[in-house]
Structure 1
C-alpha cells in the first residue's frame, strides 16, 4: 500500500488587520450558516412560510448557536479556567502571562452546547412567530448537518481536533502539531455530516417516508451524534481530564442527543404504523 500522506500546514489566519485576524474558522463558520439559510429560504417558500419569518430565524439561530457553543465549551471543557476568568467567556480576549489582555477571537466553541442553544432559541422563535415547535425543529434539522460540515472543515483549517496516529495512506501530517501521520478526523466528520444532509434533504424533498412532526429532527440528531461518538474513538483527547476515560466528554455529551433522536424517530414510526 503506497502512503499518500498529506502534509497539512495551513496558517489559521487569512489576514491580520491592525491586530484583528480574519481566520479560516470564522470564514467557514459564516459560509456554512449563510449557505444553510439560503437553502432554508427555499424550504420556507415550499412550506408557504413568510420571508420575514425566515429572516428572523437567522438571528435567533445564530445567537442560539453561538451563545450555546461558547457556554458549552466553558462549562464542560474548561470550567476551572473560565470560572476564574468570567470576562473571557463573553469577550474575545485572553489574559497573557504579563497580565495584559490580547484579542484572540472566541477560541473555544462546543457543538453540543451549540445544539442545546439552538433548540432553546428555536422554542422562543416558534412562540414568537406562532409556528409548531417540532415543525420548526424539523426545518432546521434539514440544513443543520450542512452547517456542521463547514464547522468541521474549519477545524481542519485550524489543525485542531486531530486524529490518532495511523499508517493509512490518506493520513494527514499536521505540521503545526507534529510530524506524525494521523487520521484526518475532522474530514471524516465533515464527510459524514454532508452525507447526512443529503439523506435528510432527500427524504424531505421526495416524501418517501411518511413524516410526522419531529421525525427529521430525530433522524438528524441521531445520525450526527452516532457519527460523533464513533469518530471520537480515533481522535486524540481534547482536554487533559479525558485521559483514562472509557468515553470522552464529547461521547458522553452525545448520548442524550442520540436517545432523544431515537425517541422522535420511534414515536413517528409507531404513530404511522398501519392499524
Structure 2
C-alpha cells in the first residue's frame, strides 16, 4: 500500500498570486505541442508554416479552456449551473471536462479553417498527435491536486489519499496519464510520421482515447454528485466516451474503407 505524497498544489507563491501545478501542466502541454508541430511544419512539403502553428495552438488553447469549463458545468454540474449561472466563471473552484474541451477545439478548428482556407480534417489530423501531451500533463496535475481519485482496491499499488479517507484506492490519475498521455502519444506520433489518408489520424485518436477512457472509468471513482448513471456501473465518462469510439471507427472507415486517396501532410 502506498501513501499519497501530499504535494502542495501551489507551485509558486508570488505575494497574492498563486501559480498552481495544474496551470503549469496546461502550459507544458501547449508549449510542447507547439514545439513538436513547429518541427513538423518545417519539414519539406508539410503544407504548414510556423506562423500557422502558432495560430492553431492559440485557437486550440481557447477551445480547450472555454470548452473544457463549459463542458464540465453542463455535463457534470448542470443543476448547480441552473441555481447559479455564475458558477461558469468560478474556475478557481476547479472543474474541466475533456469532452467539453474536445467540442471546444472542434469549434476553434472550424474557425481556424475558415481563416486559412484549410480543410478542417487536415487540421485535426495534423494536430491530433500532440493532444495526448496535454491530456497526460493534465492528469499529472489532477494527481498533484489529489482530485479525481480511483475506487477502493486491494492491489499492492493501491494508494491512500488521506484528504479523502484512509482506504487504499487506484491512482487512476496515473493510469490515465499513462494511457491517454504516454501510450496515446506514442501511437499517434509514430502513426502520423508517414502520410496517411485524410481522417485516419483523427479517427485513431478518437478510437483509442474512447477505449482508454472507457476502460479506466471502471477503476475511477464516479463524481459524487452524479454517481453511476445506469446499470449500477455505467458512468458519465463512459457514456461520453462511447460516441468517440463510434466516431473513431467511422473516420477510420472513411480513411481506409473507401480509400479516398487524400493524404495528410503530417
Please indicate, yes or no, whether the TM-score normalized by the shorter chain is above 0.5. Answer: yes
SS at match of 2:153: coil
Q: Is the 8 A contact 1:8 1:175 kept in 2?
A: no
Query: 3-state SS of the aligned residue for 2:148?
Result: coil
1:201 has 2:200 as partner: no
Change (3 A) 1:197 1:33: same
What is the aligned partner in structure 2 of residue 29 from structure 1? 26
Distance in 2 (CA, whole Å) between partners of 1:20 and 1:88 is 22
Partner of 2:218: 233
Structure 1 residue 106, shift from structure 2 partner: 5.4
1:97 is matched with: none
Give the match's secondary structure for 1:22: strand
Is the contact made by 1:122 and 1:136 (CA closer than 8 Å) also made in structure 2? yes
Q: Is the 8 A contact 1:149 1:189 kept in 2?
A: yes
Compared CA separation, residues 142 and 181, structure 1 to 2 (3 A): same
Describe the superposition over 1:199-234 as per-residue Cα deviations: whole angstroms up to 9, x where unpaired: 1111111x3xx7211110010111011110110011
Q: For 1:19 and 1:56, how far apart are their aligned partners in 2?
A: 32
Could you give the per-residue CA deviations for residues 240-274 of structure 1, whole angstroms, max 9, x where no partner exists? Answer: 23246331111111111111111001221212399
Residue in 1 aligned with 2:59? 60
Contact 1:14–1:24, Cα closer than 8 Å, also in 2: yes
* Mapping for residues 68-83 of structure 1, pairs under 5 Å: 68-83=67-82
1:142-166 C-alpha deviation (Å, 9 max, x unpaired)? 1111111111111111111111111
Equivalences for residues 217-256 of structure 1 within 5 A = 217-243=202-228, 245-246=230-231, 247-256=234-243
User: Tell me, what secondary structure is at the counterpart of 1:176?
Assistant: coil
Deviation at 1:42, TM superposition (A): 1.1
Secondary structure, in 3 states, of the residue corresponding to 1:83? helix
TM-score normalised according to structure 1 size: 0.87
Secondary structure of residue in 2 paired with 1:14: strand
Give the TM-score taking structure 2 as reference length: 0.90
Shift of 1:20: 3.4
Distance in 2 between the 1:155 and 1:20 partners? 20
For residues 243 and 132 of structure 1, do their structure 2 counterparts lie closer, same or farther at Cα, with a shift above 3 Å needed?
Answer: closer
Runs of at least 5 residues in structure 1 that lack an aligned partner in the other structure: 93-104
Moved more, 119-128 or 79-88: 79-88
Distance 1:258 1:220 in 2: 9
CA–CA separation in structure 1 for the residues paired with 2:111 and 2:156: 48
- CA deviations on 1:34-59 (whole Å, 9 max, x unpaired) are 11121111122221412221111121
Note closer, same or farther for the CA distance 1:141–1:106 as it changes in structure 2 (3 Å cut).
farther
- Alpha carbons 1:6, 1:170 under 8 Å: kept: no
1:125-144 → structure 2 map (5 Å cutoff): 125-144=112-131
User: More displaced, 19-28 or 195-204?
Assistant: 19-28
Confirm or deny that 1:9 pairs with 2:6. yes
